[in-house]
Structures are given as C-alpha cells and as structure tokens.
C-alpha cells in the first residue's frame, strides 16, 4: 500500500524568476508609457472650386484674431497678451447684442456679437508663426467656449460640464454644446514675415 504513494518529484521553479525578468525587461524596452493627448479639431473639407460667395456675416459677429510671425496677437485691432485672450473671447461670445439669448451674461454691447449662435471667431496666422503659439491660441479659444459651457452647465444642471460622462450624459452634453456652438474659422495664413 505504502509503495503506491510515490512522491511526485517537485518541479524546479528556480528559473521562473529569470524567465519573468526576461519578459519584464522586454516590455520595459519595447513599450512607452506616454498617453496621447491633444486638442481635437476638424478641418474644413477641400473644395477644388472656391465657394463663390460665402454667406454674409455681419462685422460685429466676427471676432478676428491675428497672429504675426513674431508670435504677437492682434485681436479686434488691438494688441493683446495671450493671457487676456480667453477673457476677451468669452466677452465676445457671451455678449448677446440682440437679446435673444436668455442664458447669456454679456454686456449687450452694440459693437459685439448678436448671440452665441451667430458669433464666429476668425483666426488667421502667418506662415512664420510658431506652432507652439498657434496651439496656445487654439487652446485659449477652445477654453473660452469650454468655460462658457461650464458656467451654463452649473446653472442649468447644477453639475460640472467637464466632469460629465460622455455616454451617460450624452443628451445633456449635446444640449450644452448647442447653447454655445464652437465656431472657430481659420483663414489661409499670410506670408509676410516668412
């Protein structure tokens, strides 16, 4: 009886650690940690023939942002620092000149935009503008919209727009986005200080 109880020889697991280390080092070398993040944008589709007459937009509904080759900003014919751009853009979008926007807090200045739906930001840069500056300007303009949406969400829904879940609050996000539609138009760049 006792003879049948032959002990199974133990598997030598001493080199298991070596194998695991090998795999670990392989992964350390071939992979990277950095996650990809960035500003999402959409390009206008390419048309061979230029659109003959673009729809007329009132001068007051356009917020012009120019960036020259020395990375300086000219906003609405006025020299501006990048740190002031967000504030200016928000004032413009939220102006509510014709009073049709019930949730806007703007100053209703007659020389600024009618309502957020009509307000268009026009961005033009030089071919010599640095990409870093361009991204910064884009970032500020997007941030202006995001800040307004954030305020709107706090008031209407009592929660943070940035903290919303893309799937769960789908309809709410859509509604907020339509309250402040993002309208940033990019003109062909100039080539002055190339």
Partner 1 sequence: MAVIKKKKDKGLPAVNTSALPDIVFMLLFFFMVATVMREVDLKVSVNKPQATEIQKLERKSLVTYIYAGSPRVKYQDKFGRSPRIQLNDAFATIDDVQAFVIQEREAKSEEDRPMMTMSIKADKSVKMGLITDIKLQLRKAQALKINYSSLQPKNVEALYSSEN
The DSSP-derived string for 105-127 is -----TTS-S-TTT-EEEEEEBT
- Any contact of residue 50 with partner 1 (CB under 8 A)? no
Q: Which of 3, 4, 7, 32 binds partner 1 (CB under 8 A)?
A: 32
Cα distances (Å, whole numbers) of residue 14 to 22, 134, 175: 14, 57, 62
Between residue 101 and residue 120, which ones bind partner 1 under the rule CB under 8 A? none
Question: Which single residue is written with the structure tokens 């999402």?
Answer: 40
**Nearer to partner 1 (CB atom), residue 117 or residue 128:** 128
Only one of the segments 2-10, 53-61, 95-103, 125-133 lies at the binding site for partner 1 (rule: CB under 8 A); that segment is 125-133
The DSSP H or E segment spanning 58 is none
Name residue, tokens 């268009």.
Answer: 120
Is the Cβ of residue 76 or residue 189 nearer to partner 1 in the bound state? 189
- Out of 134, 150, 164, 173, point to the residue binding partner 1 (CB under 8 A): 134
4 or 40: CB nearest partner 1: 40
Shorter beta-carbon distance to partner 1: residue 60 or 128: 128
Q: Is 30 in the site for partner 1 (CB under 8 A)?
A: yes
Helix axes 170-179, 131-156, angle to 10 degrees: 110
Other residues' Cβ atoms within 10 Å of the Cβ of residue 115: 19
Nearest-angstrom CA–CA distance, 65 and 185: 10
Interface pick for partner 1 out of 2, 5, 8, 45 (rule CB under 8 A) = 45
Q: Which of residues 52-81 bind partner 1 (CB under 8 A)?
A: 81
- Looking at the Cβ atoms of 56 and 132, the one nearer to partner 1 is 132
Return the residue matching tokens 């020389």.
111
List the end-to-end C-alpha distance of the chain, in Å, as a whole number: 95
Q: What is the dihedral of CA 7, 12, 13, 16, to 10 degrees?
A: -150
93 touches partner 1 (CB under 8 A):
no
Residues lying near partner 1 in the complex (CB under 8 A) are found at 13-14, 16-17, 19-21, 23-24, 27-28, 30-33, 35-46, 81-83, 125-132, 134-136, 138-139, 142-143, 146, 188-189, 191, 194
């Amino acid at each position: 009886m006792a003879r049948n109880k032959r002990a199974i020889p133990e598997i030598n697991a001493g080199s298991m650690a070596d194998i695991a280390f090998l795999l670990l080092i392989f992964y350390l070398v071939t992979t990277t940690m950095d996650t990809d993040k960035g500003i999402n944008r959409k390009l206008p589709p390419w048309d061979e023939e230029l659109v003959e007459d673009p729809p007329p937009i009132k001068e007051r509904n356009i917020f012009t942002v120019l960036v020259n080759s020395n990375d300086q900003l000219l906003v609405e014919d006025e020299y501006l620092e990048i740190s002031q751009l967000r504030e200016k853009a928000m004032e413009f979008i939220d102006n509510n000149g014709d009073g049709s926007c019930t949730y806007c807090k703007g100053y209703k200045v007659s020389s600024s935009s009618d309502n957020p739906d009509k307000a268009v930001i026009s961005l033009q840069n030089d071919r010599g503008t640095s990409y870093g500056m361009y991204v910064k300007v884009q970032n500020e303009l997007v941030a202006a919209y995001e800040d307004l949406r954030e305020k709107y969400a706090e008031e209407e829904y009592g929660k943070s727009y940035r903290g919303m879940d893309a799937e769960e609050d789908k309809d709410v996000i859509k509604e907020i986005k339509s309250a402040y539609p993002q309208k940033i138009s990019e003109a062909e760049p100039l080539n002055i200080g190339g």
